[in-house]
């Protein structure tokens, strides 16, 4: 495996400009980076194109890419237009992800998003009448609807269990999901981190349970990569689908799907192109999709190396530091009910809450109007919660501003829209 410095040297030798930008950033980012080091994280924010007057708290939907990622995509696109397209170095991309996510590089597939990755899994399995797929009432449509479609078409049954919000412990979550399994359960499909409340589910324990019972385990992992340290080697399970355009800050249209070794030859491809039946290719046969936009993979490669340069320990600590501040202060505001878990082991970069007597959509408009704040309302399942996401480009001043405005809304009410 090539190390990062060697990797950058190889790409630099090919005449690409963005590896030099990344190497410069990597040198600048060597010192500092403690969770409360505002000077360091202000420097990191400077790597993004976010306007100074913009407070972006919706990374759980779409992460803004840093300049180096934008440069990588633009440079690749220009070279294609000039009929000199550089080839995407598959090995470097897989090795970079293997380092970032502690996984076997040979297990990575690159769909366009989590939805497509989960669709590859659902459509590639042999399930039919008499089979059950178990999920939860906190799944995103991208993780749920592939199973809904396949179950309806093939005569299988999709069932859900209700998760507590806020969850009190990892054990409570495990027991709730485990109680929903039956002798007919063929597949368990849950989120690693729920999009509704940012709750971290006990994926490792569920993977062990599924293996004991012969149940296929598929994980909707849209959020953890780029937000929390992930070890695919230790998590277990069969499939892990993610959207690097969220917390990994890659371009739109970049996804990833990780297949454990046994499934690299057993899963049926949903898209058949040359080599679909060449089992010696392993997981890479799922990357044979015909002509596609390789610039998105150039951007993904740059995003992976950007995050590897920062280091996931620093990134995770900062994300959770800001999240904890938000949760603690929101809980002190009269009329606020926080539905995200309090425990650190269950926490992520997202916090969801409701304000008594105020619809979250009205609160969302108020925040946008008062301080150009971008948020997300969880309208799915009729929950109606406000969700705030914090990432490495957010400053403590961003957090204080939104807290001040929510407190004002709670104490004085909202003006007419």
Domain identity same for 283 and 376: no
> Model's pTM, two decimal places?
0.93
User: Given CA atoms 20, 23, 24, 25 in this order, what sign does their dihedral have?
Assistant: positive
Q: Residue 17: which of 76, 85, 80 has the closest Cα? A: 76
Last residue of a domain, one of 255, 279, 305: 305
Domain identity same for 387 and 366: yes
Is 133 inside any structural domain? yes
Domain identity same for 225 and 103: yes
Q: Residue 139: which of 162, 157, 111, 110 has the closest Cα? A: 162
Domain identity same for 114 and 237: yes
Is 10 inside any structural domain? no
Domain identity same for 345 and 390: yes
Those residues with Cβ within 8 angstroms of residue 382's Cβ, 6 or more apart along the chain or in another chain: none
Q: In angstroms, what is the C-alpha Rg of the chain?
A: 22
Is 67 inside any structural domain? no
Is 13 inside any structural domain? no
Helix (H, G, I), strand (E, B) or coil at 340: coil
Helix (H, G, I), strand (E, B) or coil at 66: strand
Those residues with Cβ within 8 angstroms of residue 416's Cβ, 6 or more apart along the chain or in another chain: none
Can you give the pLDDT at residue 84? 85
Helix (H, G, I), strand (E, B) or coil at 188: strand
Residues written for the chain: 417
Is 45 inside any structural domain? no
Domain identity same for 169 and 250: yes
Neighbour tally for 37: CB within 10 Å: 16
Last residue of a domain, one of 278, 305, 332: 305
Distances, alpha carbon 230 to alpha carbons 192, 200, 396, 406, in Å: 10, 12, 25, 33
Can you give the pLDDT at residue 15? 61
Domain identity same for 297 and 326: no
Distances, alpha carbon 381 to alpha carbons 138, 141, 352, in Å: 8, 11, 14
Domain identity same for 209 and 139: yes
Contact 371, 297 (CB under 8 A): no
Last residue of a domain, one of 260, 287, 305: 305
Count of structural domains, the chain: 2
Domain identity same for 297 and 383: no
Is 28 inside any structural domain? no
Domain identity same for 207 and 284: yes
Two structure tokens written together for 48: 């993004």
| pLDDT, tens digit only, all 417 positions of the chain | 345 544 444 444 356 788 888 888 888 888 899 999 999 999 999 999 999 999 999 999 999 999 999 999 999 999 889 998 777 778 999 999 999 999 999 999 999 999 999 999 999 999 999 999 999 999 999 999 999 999 999 999 999 999 999 999 999 999 999 999 999 999 999 999 999 999 999 999 999 999 999 999 999 999 999 999 999 999 999 999 999 999 999 999 999 999 999 999 999 999 999 999 999 999 999 999 988 888 999 999 999 999 999 999 999 999 999 999 999 999 999 999 999 999 999 999 999 999 999 999 999 999 999 999 999 999 999 999 999 999 999 999 999 999 999 999 999 988 875
In order, the DSSP letters of 278-299 are: -GGGGGGGGG--SS--THHHHH
Contact 168, 199 (CB under 8 A): no
In order, the DSSP letters of 395-406 are: -HHHHHHHHHHH
Provide the CA 192 distance to its chain's centre, in angstroms: 9
Give the residue numbers spanning the domain of 391: 313-411
Is 360 inside any structural domain? yes
Contact 121, 241 (CB under 8 A): yes
- CATH classification at residue 319: 3.90.1150.10
Question: Does 292 sit behind a cis peptide bond, omega within 30 degrees of 0 on the bond before it?
Answer: no
Is 140 inside any structural domain? yes
Instruction: Show the 3-state SS of 229-259.
Output: CCCHHHHCCCEEEECCCCCCCCCCCCCEEEE
Contact 361, 346 (CB under 8 A): no
Domain identity same for 274 and 330: no
């Amino acid at each position: 495996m090539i190390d990062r410095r060697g990797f950058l040297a190889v790409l630099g030798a090919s005449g690409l400009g963005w590896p030099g930008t990344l190497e410069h950033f990597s040198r600048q980012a060597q010192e500092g980076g403690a969770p409360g080091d505002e000077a360091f994280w202000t420097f990191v924010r400077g790597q993004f194109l976010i306007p100074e007057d913009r407070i972006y708290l919706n990374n759980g939907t779409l992460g803004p890419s840093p300049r180096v990622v934008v440069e990588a995509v633009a440079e690749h696109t220009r070279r294609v237009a000039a009929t000199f397209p550089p080839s995407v170095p598959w090995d470097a991309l897989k090795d970079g992800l293997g380092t970032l996510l502690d996984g076997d590089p040979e297990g990575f597939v690159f769909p366009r998003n989590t939805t497509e990755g989960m669709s590859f899994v659902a459509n590639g399995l042999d399930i039919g009448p008499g089979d059950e797929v178990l999920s939860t009432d906190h799944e995103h449509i991208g993780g749920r609807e592939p199973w809904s479609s396949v179950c309806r078409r093939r005569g299988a049954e999709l069932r859900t269990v209700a998760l507590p919000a806020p969850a009190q412990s990892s054990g409570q979550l495990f027991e709730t999901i485990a109680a929903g399994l039956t002798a007919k359960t063929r597949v368990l499909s849950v989120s690693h981190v729920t999009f509704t409340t940012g709750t971290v589910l006990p994926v490792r324990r569920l993977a062990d349970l599924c293996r004991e019972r012969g149940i296929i385990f598929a994980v909707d992992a849209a959020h953890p990569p780029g937000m929390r340290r992930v070890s695919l080697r230790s998590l277990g399970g069969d499939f892990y689908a993610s959207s690097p355009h969220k917390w990994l800050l890659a371009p739109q249209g970049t996804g990833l799907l990780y297949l454990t070794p046994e499934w690299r030859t057993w899963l049926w491809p949903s898209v058949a192109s040359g080599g679909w039946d060449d089992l010696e290719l392993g997981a890479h046969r799922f990357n044979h999709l015909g002509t596609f936009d390789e610039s998105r993979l150039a951007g993904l490669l740059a995003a992976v190396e950007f995050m590897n340069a920062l280091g996931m320990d620093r990134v995770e600590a900062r994300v959770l530091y800001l999240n904890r501040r938000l949760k603690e202060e929101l809980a002190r505001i009269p009329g606020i009910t926080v539905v995200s878990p309090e425990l650190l082991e269950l926490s992520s970069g997202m916090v969801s809450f409701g304000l008594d007597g105020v619809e979250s959509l009205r609160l969302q408009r108020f925040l946008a109007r008062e301080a150009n704040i971008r948020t997300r309302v969880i309208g799915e399942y009729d929950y109606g919660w406000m969700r705030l996401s914090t990432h490495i480009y957010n400053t403590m001043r961003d957090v204080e501003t939104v807290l001040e405005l929510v407190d004002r809304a709670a104490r004085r009410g909202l003006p007419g829209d």
